[in-house]
A and B are shown apart, each in its own frame.
Chain A
């Protein structure tokens, strides 16, 4: 059973950088056809995909966040990370890490529990 766990500060000041890490256990972060994603959900709103990284380091981002988001991977620690720069109150959200797979179609089969990040001074 694959398990994902987010970690990082729950409070970030405006204009600073949000940094989160997702630790993967119960499976290999280096498996093919698996993509490691960050997804967020502002309070009371819908899910928004931020981006993903493949174990090789290839990344793709939501165009709306591409200029501020960076996702990296450390296969030796079975972790991948998100940095989001120049945050504002609009970045306040629950941030999830999730595994994306391509089977009969493309979907997220395992999710972390989520971590609330509040942007406030």
Chain B
């Protein structure tokens, strides 16, 4: 099974900061990775698909990169509404098995 490991698990930052979250896959997954944002008490929201494709309506300060086994989610200038948890996700083709990273909680410093 493919495992996804996110780092860091917790991140404290200030409004205006640039932050990067990393997701490492235990095997090469090409660009088959998505990123989600989850605010307390809410369902996750899709931010990025195929490692770097920004979804419609997602602010351009969010960007994704990487391929193979190492991926990044970068927020170029943190806004108050960005403080949330972030998860990476992959689907193993066969047998079908969706995997999530353990999450990164982004908190206000």
Residues of chain A at the chain B interface (Cβ within 8 Å): 37, 39, 46-49, 52, 60, 62-63, 96, 98, 100, 103-109, 111-114
Contacts and interface: CB of A to CB of B under 8 A. Distances in A.
Given A105-B49, A107-B49, A113 B100 contact: no
Contacts of B46: 107-109
B50 A104 contact: yes
Interface stretch (B10-18, B27-35, B73-81): B27-35
A105 B98 contact: no
A105 B44 contact: no
A47 B31 contact: no
A112 B42 CA distance: 9
B99 interface: yes
Contacts, number: 68
Given A37-B98, A47-B87, A100-B91, 18 more contacts: A46-B100, A46-B102, A46-B103, A49-B97, A62-B97, A62-B98, A96-B43, A96-B44, A103-B50, A104-B50, A105-B32, A105-B33, A105-B34, A106-B32, A106-B34, A106-B91, A107-B34, A109-B46
B22 to A, nearest CB: 16
Interface in B41-88: 42-46, 49-51, 53, 87
B43 A114 contact: yes
Given A104-B50, A107-B34, A52 B96 contact: yes
Q: How large is the interface on B (under 10, 10 to 19, 20 to 34, 35 or more residues)?
A: 20 to 34
B43 A46 contact: no
Interface of B: 1, 31-34, 36, 42-46, 49-51, 53, 87, 89, 91, 95-103
Given A108-B44, A109-B46, A49 B34 contact: no
Contact of A63 (B31, B42, B45, B97): B97
Given A96-B43, A105-B34, A108-B44, A60 B96 contact: yes
A100 B87 CA distance: 16
